[in-house]
Amino acid sequence: MTDLLLTLWDLIAPRKPKPRPALRHRARKPSAPAPGSMAERYEQITKQMLNEHDVRVRKWRSSMSGVAWQVQYKDGSTAKLIESPKPKGPMSAAVFLHEIGHHAIGFGVYRPRCLEEYHAWRWSLEQMEALGLNITPPVRRRMHESLHYAIEKAHRRGLKRLPEELSPFVHAPPHHHTR
């Protein structure tokens, strides 16, 4: 007779695997936008602007905010970078083009910083117009709010004289009422 040594695991009945439900939908690869669609136009404009201005996207943001900066390397080369929403409509396109605009107009060309913001927004809307993109009232409101914020920030930091171009943005835009 052989000694049989049992463990607790031997006493537990093996579990039968639960049957998995059949997949109802197959995972799809992201499809390319339909030819001639607005999605395709936004995709095309995005690639064009990134190539034309030698800008790299560090991150596509889910929010309607962005940032532009550049990195100067020891070898003398420069990396132009942005984070912004991917252009899919007028607002995301405006924010994307505004960030590209910082590189297009050049950092530090306009002083004070709120004036640089003005020129980046102006460049953005000029590009939208030239590309035949719709500049909606919410886009214009966003520009106004952004410039108003930049002016207030400049005042908090001791701005002595406001550039004339910014005078239309001193006051916050009127409240928008929806019906």
- Is residue 57 within 8 A of residue 87, CB to CB? The reply is no
**pLDDT 10s digits, 5-15:** 777 666 776 77
158 inside domain? yes
14 inside domain? no
**pLDDT 10s digits, 74-122:** 999 999 999 999 999 999 999 999 999 999 999 999 999 999 999 999 9
* Burial classification of residue 97, based on how many CB atoms lie within 10 Å of its CB (0-12 exposed, 13-18 middle, 19 or more buried): buried
pLDDT(179) > 70: no
The average confidence (pLDDT) of the chain is: 91
Residues above pLDDT 90, as percent of the chain: 77
pTM for the full model? 0.81
Q: What does the alpha-carbon distance between residue 97 and residue 45 come to, in Å, rounded to a whole number?
A: 10
The tokens describing 38, both together, are 């607005």
At residue 130, the pLDDT reads: 98
32 inside domain? no
At residue 94, the pLDDT reads: 98
110 inside domain? yes
- Read off the pLDDT band of 22 (50, 70, 90): low
109 inside domain? yes
DSSP, collapsed to helix, strand or coil, labels residue 77 as: coil
The tokens describing 56, both together, are 């790299």
pLDDT(36) > 70: yes
Give me the domain span that covers residue 163: 38-169
99 inside domain? yes
**pLDDT 10s digits, 119-137:** 999 999 999 999 999 999 9
Where would I find the beta strands (DSSP E) of 103-149? none
Nearest-Å Rg of the Cα atoms of the chain is 27
1 inside domain? no
Query: How many independent structural domains does the chain possess?
Result: 1
